[in-house]
Structure 1
Amino acid sequence: MYAIWNIKASDIAAELNRCGTYEERKIISAAEKLGYTCIEENGDMLEAIDPNGDRTIIAEQ
């Protein structure tokens, strides 16, 4: 199933060059490039550990 995600982390939105909706794999790729770790899908959210070590929601469906 194809799902569209709304980005919640502003640094990831900036990396992708705009706010909006993206496929999961593009968001994960941008997040990894920015230093996010432990990225996982949790229900209708993508969660990760940000570069500061805090757990954060990076995107929602």
Structure 2
Amino acid sequence: MSEVIVFKIILLHLVAGMIVCLLGMMRVGDTIIQKCLRGIIGMVIISMITSLGYVLINV
């Protein structure tokens, strides 16, 4: 059962990461490094919120 929860969390992280990266790429005028950094930071924040929410729901 715990493997399924871990898989779902990883899947949510990947989807959230892709959305953040796409939104980051839409901004014009930033360098590629800035876009990547913003995407990574956004991914970390979203993954933390997602994990916390998922754990709170399933406890």
Q: What's the TM-score bracket when you normalise by the shorter of the two chains?
A: 0.3 to 0.5
* Structure with the largest fraction of helix: 2
* Structure with the largest fraction of strand: 1
TM-score by length of 1: 0.34
- Structure with larger Rg: 2
Question: Which of structures 1 and 2 has the larger relative contact order (alpha carbons within 8 angstroms, sep 6+)?
Answer: 2
TM-score by length of 2: 0.35
